[in-house]
Amino acid sequence: MTRASTGPQRRVRAIVLAAGKGTRMKSATPKVLHEICGRPMLWYVLRALRSAGITEIVTVINDELQERMDEFGVQGILQAEQLGTGHAVQTALAQMPAADGGCIVVAYGDMPLVNDELFRGIVGSLGANGSAASLAMVTVRMPLPSNFGRVVRRGHDVERIVEVRDATPAELAIEEMNAGIYAYDEQALRDAAGRLRNDNAQREYYLTDTIADFVSAGKRVVPVMATDHLHVLGINDRVELARARREMNERLCAQHMRDGVTIVDPQATYLEPELEIGRDTVIYPNTAIGRLSRIGEGCVIGPNSRLSAATIGNGAAIRESVIIESTVGNDVTIGPFAHLRGNTQLADGVHIGNFVEVKNSKLARGVKASHLSYLGDAEIGEGSNIGAGTITCNFDGVRKNKTTIGRNVSIGSNTSLVAPVTVGDGALTGASSVVTRDVPPGERVAGNPARPLPKK
């Protein structure tokens, strides 16, 4: 329910609570840093706030989180001792200069599936400065049993929130829960936060006690019901973490499918946020794509492939292969069972076949390496063919050395290229050559060490 706004626009700031130790994760990593789909949980909460237009955000953190705050671009406020959600909010407010008629959104950092609509909804429902409400809060119907606080109503009105550990059996039977997402009138919050007490089962200062405080003072609390309880799933252990990941992955897949990508089996496709995938690309199962990868149109990716920080052109086919921090042109075919890494760059029409590893190498248009090769620190010119079993011997025990192969070169099967070494345009190496010295353009060499063959 949205109240007609009377007063001027409010300044909206957010406090994200993330200082809890998350003991049920049983982890050396702070809870909100556990990842779903390649991003820490906290990242999703901040993204949802920002896309709701809320950019002034502080995060209440513990000492373990302190060093990681830079990557999130928000101010961290240390709550040295975790004395409850109410205490966390008091700690934040003490560091935030008061704003007249402000709105303070409070959210929990362990709720990665939250979306911007919920935030917009409560800020809108709180109403502009001068509206009668002191709080708009998200409630949700959820299957029992649940460890969420229960919303106790009197008639239509919210009366108070009772935590599971303080609830009577009758209260535990209530199916309307407190989601843990609030938009407060700033002054009302500051007043109520100062009055919180810890006389409850957990001896904590509960933020949720602000609700009964408002009600007893005759102030309005506006409940906003969430449509889907998954949106407010709080992650407390690794079972819930896996459930959240599945839901997030489903959303990511759905978004790309709606944008024209065929995902044969979304449940067996693992995506991250911030990917670009072109139309009519088909993704086969057991494929993971992450780290800002960009994939063109009309590609075939998978099955059984992993792409990380990969840039792929149009019409490429990548099967049963791994591509990490590398760039692939149009109409390239890769795999099965190939491995590209270390800033490898493949131009259009390159073919990389089975059991070929390419590291930090540049292959020009139309190069073929079809079978069983290692190409490391190499530059290979247009149209060259790399025979089965070719190895660039790039490491001399101290440093990595470069192999340069010209255009239209034919490297025979099982050639060892002992770098640093250059093979000129149009040259040829015979099967099992061990190339220890540069080969001039047009020359044919063979043997160990490789020597020129008589001219035909």
Interactions with ligand UD1, residue window 156-175 (CB under 6 A): 161, 163
Q: Does 22 bind Ca ion (CB under 5 A)?
A: no
Closest CA to 184 of 125, 251, 269, 268: 125
Cβ atoms within 10 A of the Cβ of 197, count?
A: 9
**How many residues line the site for ligand UD1 (CB under 6 A)?**
26
Distance (Å) of CA 305 to CA 19, 230, 271, 337, 376: 37, 29, 12, 9, 21
Strand partners, 225: 139
Closer of 196 and 289 to ligand UD1 (Cβ): 196
Closer of 93 and 417 to ligand UD1 (Cβ): 93
Q: Does 423 bind ligand UD1 (CB under 6 A)?
A: no
Interactions with Ca ion, residue window 67-126 (CB under 5 A): none
Cβ atoms within 10 A of the Cβ of 3, count?
A: 16
Closest CA to 8 of 135, 190, 131: 131
Of 72, 182, 184, 206, the one binding ligand UD1 by CB under 6 A? 206
Closer of 152 and 207 to ligand UD1 (Cβ): 207
Phi-psi bin for 192: left (phi > 0), alpha (psi -120 to 50), beta?
Answer: alpha
Q: Does 234 bind Ca ion (CB under 5 A)?
A: yes
Catalytic residue among 87, 229, 339, 371: 371
The b/e string for 88-103 (b: 16+ C-beta within 10 A; e otherwise) is bbbbbbeebeeeeebb
Q: Which helix (H) or strand (E) holds 172?
A: helix 169-172
Closer of 22 and 366 to Ca ion (Cβ): 22
Does the annotation count 371 as an active-site position? yes
Binding to ligand UD1 by CB under 6 A, coded x per residue (else -) over 40-69, reads --------------------x---------
Phi first, then psi: give them for residue 218, nearest 5 degrees: 75, 20
Closer of 143 and 155 to Ca ion (Cβ): 143
Cβ atoms within 10 A of the Cβ of 240, count?
A: 15
Of 12, 14, 15, 17, the one binding ligand UD1 by CB under 6 A? 17
Distance (Å) of CA 231 to CA 2, 125, 138: 21, 18, 11
Interactions with ligand UD1, residue window 87-146 (CB under 6 A): 87-88, 108-110
Distance (Å) of CA 62 to CA 95, 321, 409: 15, 41, 60
Residue 161, contacted partner among Ca ion, ligand UD1, none, CB below 5-8 A by kind: ligand UD1
Interactions with ligand UD1, residue window 212-241 (CB under 6 A): 234
Point out which residues bind Ca ion (CB under 5 A).
Answer: 234
Point out which residues bind ligand UD1 (CB under 6 A).
Answer: 17-20, 60, 79, 82-85, 87-88, 108-110, 148-149, 161, 163, 177-178, 180, 206-208, 234
Show which residues are catalytic.
Answer: 371
